[in-house]
A and B are shown apart, each in its own frame.
Chain A
Amino acid sequence: MARPKVAFFDFTCCEGCQIEFTNYGDAAFLELIKHVDVVEFREAMSEKTKDPIDIALIEGSFSREADRPRLEEIRKRAKIVIAYGQCATTGGINALKNHTTDYKKCVYGKDAEMPHLDSQKALPVDAAIKVDYKAFGCPVNKYEVLQIVSHLLHGKEPVIPTYPVCVECKRRETVCRYQEGDHCLGQVARAGCGAPCPADGIPCEACRGFADSPNEPALEKALRSAGLPERRAKEKSRMFTANQRSDSK
Chain B
Amino acid sequence: MSTATQDVKISVHHLTRVEGHGNIVVDVRKGKVEKCEWHVPEAPRFFEAMIRGRHYTEVGRITSRICGICSVGHTLASLKATEAALGIQISEQTFKLRELLKHAENFDSHILHVYFLAAPDLLGVPSVFPLVATHGPVVARALRLKRLGHEWGSLLGGRTTHPTKAVPGGFSSLPTRKELSELKAKMLAAIPDLEETLKTVAALAPKFPAFDRPTEYIALASDKAYAVYDGDIQSCMPDGKKQRYKVADYRKVTNEFMTPLSTAKYCKNKLDSYAAGALARFNNNYDLLHPEAKKVAQALGMKPVCGNPYLNTAAQVIEIVHTFHDSLRIVDELIASGIKDEQPVKPTKYATGAGAVEVPRGILFHEYSYDKDGMCTGGDCIIPTNQNHANIQKDFDKLLPEMLAGGKSEKQIELAMEMLVRAYDPCISCSTHYLDVKFV
**Interface residues, chain A, CB within 8 Å of chain B?**
10-20, 22-26, 29-30, 33, 38, 41-47, 63-64, 67, 92-94, 96-97, 100, 102-104, 106-108, 111, 114, 116-117, 119, 138-139, 196-197, 200-202, 205, 207, 229, 232, 235, 239
Cα–Cα distance between A97 and B50 once the two chains are bound (Å): 5
- Distance of A210 Cα from B54 Cα, bound (Å): 19
Contact between chains at B43 and A26 (CB < 8 Å): no
**A18 CA / B132 CA spacing, docked (Å):** 19
* Contact of B112 with A by CB under 8 A: yes
- CB of B43 within 8 A of CB of A45, answer no
Residue among A15, A97, A108, A207 making CB contact with B69, cutoff 8 Å: A15
Known: A15-B19, A103-B49. A44 touches B128 (CB 8 A): yes
Residue of A41, A42, A102 ringed by the most chain B CB atoms within 10 A: A42
Nearest chain-A residue to B70 (Cβ)? A14
Q: Are A26 and B58 in contact (CB under 8 A)?
A: no
- Taken together as a complex, chains A and B put the C-alpha atoms of A45 and B258 apart, in Å, by 32
Total CB contacts across the A-B interface at under 8 A: 175
Q: With an 8 A cutoff between CB atoms, is B240 at the interface?
A: no
> For this complex, into which size category does the number of interface residues on chain B fall?
35 or more
Give me the interface of B with A, judged by CB distance under 8 Å: 14, 16-20, 41-50, 52-55, 58, 61-62, 65-69, 71, 112, 116-117, 120, 126-129, 132, 139-141, 143-144, 146-147, 150, 158-162, 164-165, 167, 172-173, 258, 263, 373, 375, 378, 429-430, 433
Instruction: Provide the bound-state CA to CA distance between A23 and B126, in Å.
Output: 21
Q: 8 A–B contact pairs at CB < 8 A?
A: A15-B429, A30-B143, A42-B17, A106-B48, A107-B48, A200-B165, A201-B165, A239-B61
Residue in B52, B61, B139 whose CB lies within 8 Å of A205 = B61
Query: A106 to B158, Cβ gap below 8 A?
Result: no
Measured CB to CB, the closest approach of chain B to A231, in angstroms, equals 8
Is B129 a contact partner of A38 (Cβ separation < 8 A)?
yes
Whether A239 pairs with B62 at a CB distance below 8 angstroms is yes
Contacts of A103 in B (CB 8 A): 46, 49-50
Q: Is the CB of A139 within 8 A of B162?
A: yes
Q: Which of A10, A14, A24, A229 contacts B373 (CB 8 A)?
A: A229
The 9 closest A-B pairs by CB, nearest first: A16-B68, A45-B127, A25-B147, A103-B49, A26-B143, A46-B126, A201-B172, A106-B49, A14-B68
